[in-house]
Amino acid sequence: MSQSPPLAGLRVLELARILAGPWIGQLLADLGADVVKVEAPEGDDTRKWGPPFVEGAEGENLSAAYFHSANRGKRSITADFRTAEGQALVKRLAAHADVVVENFKVGGLEKYGLDAASLRREFPRLVYCSVTGFGQDGPYAPRAGYDFLVQGMGGPMSVTGEPAGAPMKAGYAVADIFTGLYASNGILAALRRRDLTGEGATLDMALLDTQIAVLGNQAMNYLVGGQPPARLGNAHPNIVPYDVFPVADGHIIIATGNDGQWRKLCEVLGEPTLAEEPDYIDNRSRVKNRVALTERLHRLCQRYAKLDLLAALEKVGVPAGPINDIREVFADPQVIARGVKVDLPSAAAKAGHIPTVASPIVMDGVRQVAERTSPRLGEHADEILNDPAWGGPQHG
């Protein structure tokens, strides 16, 4: 028996653009919420952040791939917040929303009466989520926040990259995306509390806070050990061997997590006595002597072809794997079997569909992904304005 999406009936008003805020709306839409995206008349900036662009049936531009990465499942309407008409439209929609998501600069919506204090005063059950670079208070609060800057300020670039190389950011928007995920958790918690108390909430989500939070063990290594972790390339600060290793025809990852796996690795590499040498007998010793051990393992691994060594390690339960480019990711049989890539039907698109990467949430065997593609600018204006759930005319 088919089930309703878990957030069916939840109404979300998205006053956000770029990535962190829209990521929240997309995840909630995947889970069944009705997400209305209010865009400026010129549209979300990322509609133009290409190439590549999705091509329409008539050769028209259906917005950049970047926009489609964070906006599926939503309906779009436009409003100019600078006008009384635009402000009235947003307030009308907010009156019927459960959640508002915005990512304007601190105080940016105050002059329009669309800030958290103003809307929650009028609609106390509203869960209002603000996403900024640095939060609503503190000396950096007025600054604009950008993922790249936050990766630099929040620590990860100091531990990413080769030891002798330049600091390196992640190849995707870590701070933006993780902020979207943490914010979604906060929103759902606030809604749960509202079920119990009847009161909404104001969420203050900062990219910098999130970036520091996801340092995880690296932050704790510093807080406990007193020394800032250094860049180790692909190596792990607390486990050895846990790195990229050269083989005869490329590179592989070997990620031993305990001494038993270490001994099996040495057996596969034809050097079982290496595991018993005092300098390498346990993880503490291997971390201490990582440089010498890594050099020896490089020489040993280079005697094997990639597929042969991966097969041998898998057979004995040593964690190892290839380093796929994104084309190889989507061709991987596990990824195909799990249905991670989804083609959403679209009559407007030349291909008849728009590809998307589904939410990783699988509930009761059903992958949670919105059935609607990302909207064209203002596509659903009439539909939204006439929707009784959002204050449209009542019929019946």
Q: Give the C-alpha separation, 217 to 60, whole Å.
A: 48
State yes or no: is 176 an active-site residue.
yes
Q: Which amino acid is at 387?
A: D
According to DSSP, the residues that pair with 254 across neighbouring strands are: 243, 320
Q: Give the C-alpha separation, 138 to 279, whole Å.
A: 48
Q: Which amino acid is at 274?
A: L
Handedness of CA 359, 361, 366, 371 (dihedral sign): negative
Select from 385, 366, 373, 338 the least CA-distant residue to 29: 373
In three-state secondary structure terms, 3 is coil
Q: Give the C-alpha separation, 182 to 179, whole Å.
A: 5
Q: Give the C-alpha separation, 301 to 129, whole Å.
A: 50
Q: Count of residues for the chain? A: 396
Contact between residue 131 and residue 108 where contact means Cβ atoms under 8 Å apart: no
How far, CA to CA in Å, does 139 sit from each of 1, 105, 308? 54, 14, 56
79 Cβ neighbours under 8 A, 6+ residues apart: 38, 39, 40, 85, 86, 89, 90
Q: Give the C-alpha separation, 259 to 252, whole Å.
A: 20
Q: Give the C-alpha separation, 70 to 105, whole Å.
A: 20
Q: Give the C-alpha separation, 201 to 312, whole Å.
A: 54
In three-state secondary structure terms, 225 is helix
Q: Give the C-alpha separation, 82 to 212, whole Å.
A: 35
Catalytic choice (34, 176, 204, 209) = 176
According to DSSP, the residues that pair with 343 across neighbouring strands are: 355
Which active-site residues does the annotation give?
176
